[in-house]
Amino acid sequence: MSVTSLTPPALTPDDSEGLSVWPASARPAADGDLTVGGVSLKEAADRFGTPLYVLDEGEVRDRCRAYRTAFPQADVVYAAKAFLCRAMVRWVEEEGLGLDVCSAGELGLAVTAGFPAERIVMHGNAKSPEDLRTAIRLGVGRIVVDSASEIAQLDSIVPHSDRQQVMIRVVPGIAAGGHAKIRTGTDDQKFGLSITDGSAQHAIANVLRRPHLELVGLHCHIGSQITSVKPYVAAVRRMVGLMSQVRDQHGVKLPELNIGGGHGIAYRPGESSLDIGVLAGRVRAELVDGCAHAKLPVPRLTLEPGRALVGPAGVAVYHVLAVKQTAGRIFVAVDGGMSDNPRPALYGVRYSPRLVGRRSTAAPALVTVVGRHCEAGDVLADAVPLPGDVRPGDLLAVPAAGAYHLSMASGYNLVGRPPIVAVRDGAARMLVRRESLEDMSRRDVGL
């Protein structure tokens, strides 16, 4: 993979293996298998069982480096909500990125894994008292204020001899994102403080009056799975306008601007992803030009990619449990589903599964790949081509599975969450073990 672009190659006749949305290390084998990071997916399934999540460490690191190359004068902060484990914390730290967390749990895991607290940003639209106290105690670098009530609460718990650096999350009034449920830049959702109704301006003035809070900048996050640069350019323009107001009204020139993340990836061949090289150039130009026009110093830029770093590095591997035809449709049921990947049920997204582990010469048939859970909406892929002889015992692998799968996994039907295995240079190692019935039973103290 190039370190200058995260845009996957276009689907062309040369992409006959359909690997444009797979990790760059993916290679087809003569027996119908597929290797990722030099590791056979069939052998990984035999060794670790299924469902299984395979994470290509090299792909993650390459994507971190690509962001640092594209944004050499900015702070790149990984959005941990996409996926977090101790190994991921280490990879991100070693590649020179910061970390964005949304709870005391994410923060605690990161710090105990050795991540420097001063390079952590704390988010959340409804931070609990524990979240805030933990952030203050551990010394996080930035806390992003999301509501007026947080301001007094934060000011009261910061030790009297200290000052906590904060940012205000601003709603810039921009609609962007792949689905209504992940558009966060407009006034009709729960995040941030609006420019339109004056809530953001009021919060800024409130923070500036607090003796134990230091306002270092503004923050916005306009949505997720965004594949166009235009909404980010518009957001920068509005944020610079607000920074100019702050200068005029309070005499304060804010030194930082965080434009969030939400960078879209391709889940199926032929889909678009956000070109970060273009993003970097357009955002930087808008920021420099806007600040020059407003006679402001150019603030330090921060961005928070999550999905774009880890999503394309993950592969989910399932065994087929059943194949049946009803009402003219072929259903292929696998041994996972919405308990390890709720995104299809939440957002209606679909994937491009692939038969691995054996070669088939059967003509393709359009099938619906479904999970094992007791919901009609437990669908992974609808009307996708698979070999017509797909049968129980086969292996299906699903690309672009690294983000918002296991981070949102549940205990539905007490199936247990799958393990996570890292692959690199032909070696596989366990990062997170499979959740067992014993693990789940320990929490049940009713007898």
Say whether pTM exceeds 0.85: yes
Q: Is there a single domain that holds both residue 182 and residue 321?
A: no
Q: Is there a single domain that holds both residue 295 and residue 334?
A: no
Domain final residue, candidates 248, 281, 305? 305
Residue 43 β-bridge partners: none
What CATH number does the domain containing 159 carry?
3.20.20.10
Alpha-carbon distances, residue 124 vs 135, 158, 213, 216, 410 (angstroms): 12, 18, 18, 18, 21
Query: DSSP labels for 23-90?
Result: -TT-EE-TTS-EEETTEEHHHHHHHH-SSEEEEEHHHHHHHHHHHHHH-TTEEEEEEGGG---HHHHH
Q: Which of 24, 42, 28, 30 is nearest to 317 (CA)?
A: 42
Tokens representing 144 are 């992003």
User: Which domain covers residue 410, as residue numbers?
Assistant: 27-55+312-441
Longest dimension (CA), the chain: 72
> Which pLDDT does position 189 carry in this prediction?
59
Contact between 84 and 78 under an 8 Å Cβ cutoff? The reply is no
Q: Is there a single domain that holds both residue 196 and residue 283?
A: yes
Number of compact structural domains in the chain: 2
Determine, yes or no, domain membership for 326.
yes
Determine, yes or no, domain membership for 160.
yes
Query: DSSP labels for 310-328?
Result: HGGGEEEEEEEEEEEEETT
Contact between 171 and 219 under an 8 Å Cβ cutoff? The reply is no
Residue 226 β-bridge partners: 263
Non-local (6+) Cβ contacts of 246 within 8 A are 204, 252, 253, 254
Strands, E, within 401-445: which ranges?
420-424, 427-432
Domain final residue, candidates 278, 305, 332? 305
Reading phi first (left if > 0) and then psi (alpha if -120 to 50, else beta), residue 254 is in beta
Q: Which burial class, exposed, middle or buried, applies to 237 when counting CB atoms under 10 A from its CB (0-12, 13-18, 19+)?
A: middle
> Which pLDDT does position 269 carry in this prediction?
93
Active site residue 220: no
Q: Is there a single domain that holds both residue 299 and residue 316?
A: no
Contact between 11 and 4 under an 8 Å Cβ cutoff? The reply is no
Local confidence pLDDT in tens for the 447 residues of the chain: 333 334 433 333 345 578 999 999 999 998 999 999 999 999 999 999 999 999 999 999 999 999 999 999 999 999 999 999 999 999 999 999 999 999 999 999 999 999 999 999 999 988 999 999 999 999 999 999 999 999 999 999 999 878 999 999 999 878 655 444 444 445 565 778 989 899 999 999 999 999 999 999 999 998 889 999 999 999 999 999 999 999 999 999 999 999 999 999 999 999 999 999 999 999 999 999 999 999 999 999 999 999 999 999 999 999 999 999 998 899 999 999 999 999 998 888 889 999 999 999 999 999 999 999 999 889 999 999 999 999 999 999 999 999 999 999 999 999 999 999 999 999 999 999 999 999 999 999 987
Gap between the Cα atoms of 290 and 301, Å rounded: 14
What CATH number does the domain containing 349 carry?
2.40.37.10
Determine, yes or no, domain membership for 84.
yes
Q: Is there a single domain that holds both residue 349 and residue 410?
A: yes
Determine, yes or no, domain membership for 3.
no
**What's the DSSP call for residue 170?**
E
Gap between the Cα atoms of 16 and 295, Å rounded: 53
